[in-house]
Structure 1
Amino acid sequence: MGNNNSAEKISRLQESENKLLSWGVEWFQETQMYKKRRASLIWKAYDVDITVPDHRRTNGECYNGHIHTVELRREGNEDSKEIPIVALHGYGAGIGHFYSMLPALANEWDGFVYSIDAFGCGLSSRPRWNLGYGENISVYNAESYFLDAFEAWREAQKIDKMVLFGHSLGGYLSVAYAERYPERVEHLILCSPVGIPKKPPEIHSNQRLPWYFRVARSAWGSGWSPYHLVRMIGSGLIEGYTQRRFRDATWINKNLLKDYMYHNWTAGNISGGGYAHATLLEPGAYARQPLASRLHDVALRVRAVSFIYGAEDWMSVNHAEQVRDSLYLSEYDQGVEIYEVQGGGHMMFIDNPLGLVDAILETTYKTKRGKTKRIKVIGHQYLAEDAIFRGLDQGVEVAARVSGNVAQGRVLAMDHGTGQAVVEWTDSSLPNLKIPFHELHLLKESSG
């Protein structure tokens, strides 16, 4: 009965992933970016068999498993010699989270685009976890759990070099992979990576923390996973989060996204993916082995390193600036580019997928890299186009958050160049500020 129930949950995850990715391709084919090229997109999902050391055993035995893979390309690119892009998701995520980014990237890239569910995540093998938590497992072994499987996948796919895109925890693992296999990474694109800074000294000691932080730290290091909470409470937790977290946009299908996220967190064993927060990180999302001290050597051994953040990201872009500045003070002679995606939070691939794709393409196709310290903000035009498509216009009634409170008003003027609108508020004490199009919520159209 238990096995049947598990198989049914995995089947639901497969179905929800397929629906979300199919919807993403259909949505993208209605965009102006697609219509400029009008090339047929070919995508398929499959599992790649791998054999890796079984870190749960000490007798040298191996584990036979698989890595779930999605592959995309333009029609006619099957013999392309272009280096492929490989996208790695973050904690609690999976291939499906890239549903709107992947077709856009494949449409513009001259080679293959791959995304995988990391070992212990999503539809990849999820062996039961028994390697320990927190300081009971070495960082090297915790990283090896993911990196051995990723390297086995690369070998099976016969990929010589790649542009490696990693988001959040996937960014952390991308650095760790490039550290071990620099010859396999042409360009490292770190999208809001977790784990760059060192943990501040004031939070090292449990004795200095309030009791509730000490309880949280104890749970963090003793095998508690956020996956447990979702499995106990049910889909309502994910549904509420999805409705609150993501704005209304033509590229966001909240129902399909909610279904995928829920099934991704409840199918199969929690496994290494669900416990990565407690094996690689510490409370506060600080890495047990911070990337700040590791990125310097990695940057010297790959062709290029770039950073991308959301303009509204909870991860601080200052961490990337500090890495860049330390490299500029050393023998590193390549430019380190930093981008911010307009309207994007930590999950900018959902918030503004086309803006993120523009950032990826600009940094990968660029041939000259100066030692600039400018952060380039990119992607506002897509937010503006989306708002106009959904009915934003002069005279329309809107709502927005102003000075921490929700205010209502009417659009007086629209600046299409900057993607901002001047709003006359119902509360006359509020100034007529310029508000970005994507921050305005439509109430109803003016009858006049």
Structure 2
Amino acid sequence: VERLILLSPVGVNDDAGKYHKERKERIQSSFRSRIMYGIYEGLFNNSTPGVLLRSIGASRSYSWVLGYIQRRLPEIDTIEEQTAVADYLFHSNTLPGSGEYGIQRVLKADIIAKRPLQNRIPKLQVDKVSFLYGSHDWMDINGGIATQLLCTDPQKKMPDVDMHIVDKAGHLLMLQNWQAVNAGIIQAGGGSITKQESQDLKLVKPTAQSATDVGLAA
């Protein structure tokens, strides 16, 4: 592998960053928040989205999936495309489970990896790693920033890491702004793109505040 391209990846961050500290504080701020998180944690550790969908019947679960797409992915604005994506997600989650049962082995309930990628990528024998996140992504982009900062030691051979934000997209950026994602993949793979193709791509570089935000300040 010469180049690794990660599209809104889960499991990058550790729990030392500002985002996760603030999230923990919100959870601990009230009794109700702690109870709700406890229920969620129990469900996460003992179930999967596929188990839930399979338990409520095909008709209702398909309606849920289609409704989710229509609410959360307004960029997919034709019924043909909505139905195609709904069919894919429905069948992926309602067929007998397989890889879904690995979620709890990889992630903790707070969606932090048990072995965060930000600490593993610097050790990879890869020339270049590129992160692409959506502009309103629910994945924390600080994972990509932390990885950039951890790969800047001039005394060690580490991957060259860059990160781009894809405009008008969230976690499912390859569906929400596929043109910009295609351009980003071409660029990350060493190809060239036009100025028009790059208009929805924003290169992100760490700032002076970044190390503090991601929990890497000395």
Into which bin does the TM-score normalised by the smaller protein fall?
0.7 to 0.9
Q: Is structure 2 residue 183 aligned with structure 1 residue 358?
A: yes
The equivalent residue for 1:212 is: 36
The 8 Å contact of residues 195 and 285 in structure 1, kept in 2 or not, is answered as: yes
Q: 1: distance between equivalents of 2:63 and 2:77?
A: 23
Q: 1: distance between equivalents of 2:117 and 2:159?
A: 19
The equivalent residue for 2:128 is: 304
1:227–1:379 Cα change, 3 Å: farther
Q: 2: distance between equivalents of 1:262 and 1:302?
A: 35
The correspondence for 1:246, drawn from 59, 68, 73, is: 73
Aligned pairs (5 A) from 1:2-151: none
1:379–1:346 Cα change, 3 Å: farther
Q: Is structure 2 residue 123 aligned with structure 1 residue 293?
A: no
Shift of 1:248: 4.4
Moved over 4 A (4+): 200-203, 206-209, 248-252
The equivalent residue for 1:274 is: 100
What amino acid sits opposite 2:150 in the alignment? S
After TM superposition, the score normalised by the length of structure 2 is 0.72
Q: 1: distance between equivalents of 2:128 and 2:75?
A: 35
Shift of 1:249: 4.9
Please give the secondary structure, in 2, of the residue aligned with 1:275.
helix
Q: Is structure 2 residue 57 aligned with structure 1 residue 230?
A: no
The equivalent residue for 2:150 is: 326
The 8 Å contact of residues 310 and 342 in structure 1, kept in 2 or not, is answered as: yes
Kindly provide the CA deviation profile for residues 57-85 of structure 1, in whole angstroms up to 9, marking residues without a partner as x: xxxxxxxxxxxxxxxxxxxxxxxxxxxxx
Aligned residues: 181
The equivalent residue for 1:256 is: 84
Kindly provide the CA deviation profile for residues 143-168 of structure 1, in whole angstroms up to 9, marking residues without a partner as x: xxxxxxxxxxxxxxxxxxxxxxxxxx
**Percentage identity across paired residues of the two chains:** 25
The correspondence for 1:316, drawn from 140, 152, 164, is: 140
Q: 1: distance between equivalents of 2:116 and 2:76?
A: 36
Q: 1: distance between equivalents of 2:7 and 2:108?
A: 20
The 8 Å contact of residues 76 and 82 in structure 2, kept in 1 or not, is answered as: no
Gaps of 5+ in 1: 1-184, 368-376, 382-448
After TM superposition, the score normalised by the length of structure 1 is 0.37
Kindly provide the CA deviation profile for residues 336-355 of structure 1, in whole angstroms up to 9, marking residues without a partner as x: 22111111111111001111
The equivalent residue for 2:11 is: 195
What amino acid sits opposite 1:196 in the alignment? V
Q: 1: distance between equivalents of 2:69 and 2:105?
A: 27
Q: Which of the pair has the greater relative contact order for Cα pairs under 8 Å at 6+ separation? A: 2
More helix by share: 2
What RMSD over aligned residues (CA atoms) do the two structures have, in Å? 2.9
